Structure 1
Amino acid sequence: MKLVISGASGFVGQNLSAYLSSFSFLIEAISLRNSNWKDVLNGDAVIHLAGKAHDTKNTSDASEYFRVNTDITKELFDVFLESNVEDFIYFSSVKAVADDVSGILYEDILPNPKTPYGQSKLKAEEYILSKEIPEGKRVFIIRPCMIHGPGNKGNLNLLYNVVKKRIPYPLAAFENQRSFLGIDNLNFMVREILENKEIPSGVYNFADDEVLSTNQLVEIISSVSNKKNLSVSIPKFVINGMAKIGDLIKLPLNSETIQKLTENYRVSNQKIKDVIGIDKLPYTAKEGLEKTIKSFIIK
């Protein structure tokens, strides 16, 4: 089976390409920075990973998100519809529909993204869903939660450095539940979609089976790193007061940082497991995180 992958040089793209290649898939990486890709869009499936990632420092121009995440996706999808390619897999994000989750995030939630990143992803989703899909083609919109794995340089790496440098984690008084997505589980679900032609088109959340608190995450990092867990339970009112000061004088410990580390964000993966026909994914959330943390230590 031949696959055309955009964004193949990114973290997910590199891991997914290597994984699928090991199962004898033929991979053709394309760049969407010029129009040459239109001449080589042929194969069995397109996996669209390329996009502008969320800028946590909020320095990016909003229009750039819509140019890259919305307009280019529209263009690629239109070419797909006119091609002989059968499957289109678009990697959107849970942030396309919800920045905050009070309960559990399911695919049928009413979208309410608050950032240009999420809004640009949602606009691309809406365009894809507005089109009539020709007979014989399948279209998948994938909404992954926070992806991690060897080679990842995101928030997990920052938390790992806190533990590594023996800096006490000060937010142990906060209890939360978050969903994560290990790269190995992501790879498995994509391969199942590609190989099982009975899986219908649709919108699917991608997440590990279990949810973990940030406190559990710090414990996992400490255990894998062979470091003592130095977490401390500073009273919440003290932390919130410090955060307000951080907002005023631009300190790393501010309200946004506190929210990201302590918020709940639970994502259901039941829909994708039901269509695959499994009860559990191959790797637990803990196993995936341990593998990621070990990769930081090896560096």
Structure 2
Amino acid sequence: MKKIAITGATGFVGTNLEKYLKRSYKVRTLSVRYVHDQIFNITDDIIIHLAGKAHDLKKVSNPQEYYESNFELTKQLFDAFIVSKADVFIFMSTVKAVADKIDGVLTEEDLPNPQTHYGIAKRQAEEYILGKEISKEKRVFIIRPCMIHGPGNKGNLNLLYNVVKKRIPYPLAAFQNERSFLGIDNFNFMILKILENKNIASGVYNFADDEVLSTNELVQIISETLNKKNLSLAIPKSIINGIAKFGDLVKFPLNSETIQKLTENYRVSNQNIKNAIGVDKLPNTAQQGLEQTIKSFSKK
């Protein structure tokens, strides 16, 4: 039985992936953190590198932490992989290593232009991996997931969930957008397929659900899942933008950044990974995955 080592296994994604893969593989957690000049000794067959510093929405982190955790640590681990007998290395990057804002649909062919320390550090790790020669017996995958959610992790859905639960009208219904999400079950499924099929070539792959959803549709899904009436309000955009400018001055929750995050487009294509693993559709639709996640919130 193949042996897998997962870094970052105590996090939301790692915990779920470890449980999922244990059905078919011998899985262990590999605790890692950046230390200058450290050398890892890899004895497993497969390395899934999830560990790293997540994007800090509150913007209080030291920028250097991103480069040490997401770039330098990845270099050390990948160097150890190259000289080891392990034959698969999976690095979890992010779509933010390519772009913070997207006009069309993000594909693997788009030229990376990250704008945050988080995205830049992840992109530096990608470039390091892609710049190394590897033997024909090894496969290396860089995966770029969009926002991952699932039972046990509210993430960016927390704000909207609380708005609906507390019966606060969602005021941005006048804005129309399309966003990609990624349910944890679909994430696990794609990772397993990569491991099972040795004919899948090394490369960079976007991870996302098949469908895109608007924030208005997301509010409707949350409302229906909670059996509550959708109280969304289509307040004119000019008024909302005025409130946002005021919010920027007085540090009100409804500010320009919040509105942008809730109303911007961020569509991600998953066609390349589906072609590679040989499926037309992923196991769960975007709505099914979100419903599972939202139902888990109310159980707490």
Alpha-carbon distance between aligned partners in 2 of 1:44 and 1:193, rounded to the nearest angstrom: 14
Root-mean-square deviation over aligned CA pairs: 1.1
The amino acid that maps onto 2:130 is L
Distance in 2 of aligned mates of 1:24 and 1:72 = 28
TM superposition score normalised by structure 1: 0.98
Structure 2 counterpart of 1:114, which letter?
Q
Displacement of 1:38: 2.2
Q: Which residue of 2 aligns with 1:26?
A: 26
Per the TM alignment, residue 33 of structure 1 is displaced from its structure 2 partner at its CA by 2.7
- Where 1:38 maps in the other structure, the secondary structure is coil
Deviations 1:173-208 (A, max 9, x none): 000000000000000000000010000000000000
Is 1:199 matched with 2:193?
Answer: no
SS in 2 for 1:229: coil
In 1, the alpha carbon distance for the partners of 2:164 and 2:76 equals 44
- The equivalent residue for 1:163 is 164
Tell me the amino acid that sits aligned with residue 18 of structure 1.
K
In the alignment, is residue 71 of structure 1 matched against residue 83 of structure 2? no
Partners of 1:75 and 1:55 in 2: CA distance: 24
Please tell me the residue identity of whatever aligns with 1:287. Q
Whole-angstrom distance in 1 between the partners of 2:238 and 2:26:
55
Structure-1 residue corresponding to 2:56? 55
Work out the percentage of aligned pairs sharing the same amino acid. Answer: 67
The secondary structure found in structure 1 opposite 2:40 is: helix
Q: Tell me whether 1:86 sits opposite 2:87 in the alignment.
A: yes
Provide the rounded CA distance (Å) in 1 between the counterparts of 2:108 and 2:259: 27
1:37 CA drift (Å):
8.3
Q: Secondary structure of 1:176's partner?
A: coil
Cα deviation digits, residues 105-164 of structure 1 (max 9, x gap): 000111111100000000000000000011200000000000000011311122111100
- Partners of 2:24 and 2:148 in 1: how far apart? 24
Q: Deviations over 1:254-275 (max 9, x none)?
A: 1000000000000000000001
Alpha-carbon distance in 2 for matches of 1:276, 1:24: 17
Question: Which whole-Å CA distance do the structure 1 matches of 2:19 and 2:167 have between them?
Answer: 35
Cα deviation, residue 28, structure 1: 1.2
The aligned amino acid for 1:198 is N
Tell me by how many angstroms 1:165 deviates: 0.4
Measured in 2, the distance between the counterparts of 1:80 and 1:33 equals 16
Q: Which runs of 5+ in 1 are unaligned?
A: none
* Residues 202-231 of structure 1: CA deviation (Å, up to 9, x unaligned): 000000000000000000000000111000
Return the offset for 1:34: 7.0
Question: Match for 1:31: what amino acid?
Answer: S
Structure 2: where are the runs of 5+ without partners?
none
Aligned length: 297
CA distance in 2, matches of 1:81, 1:210: 37
Secondary structure, counterpart of 1:139 in structure 2:
strand
Residue correspondence of structure 1 range 240-255 to structure 2 within 5 A? 240-255=241-256
The AA in structure 2 aligned to 1:19 is: Y
Determine the C-alpha separation between the residues in 2 that align with 1:229 and 1:208.
24
142 and 56 in structure 1: CA distance in 2 versus 1, 3 angstrom threshold: same
Q: Distance in 2 between matches of 1:149 and 1:92?
A: 19
- TM-score, length-scaled by structure 2: 0.97
Partner of 1:219: 220
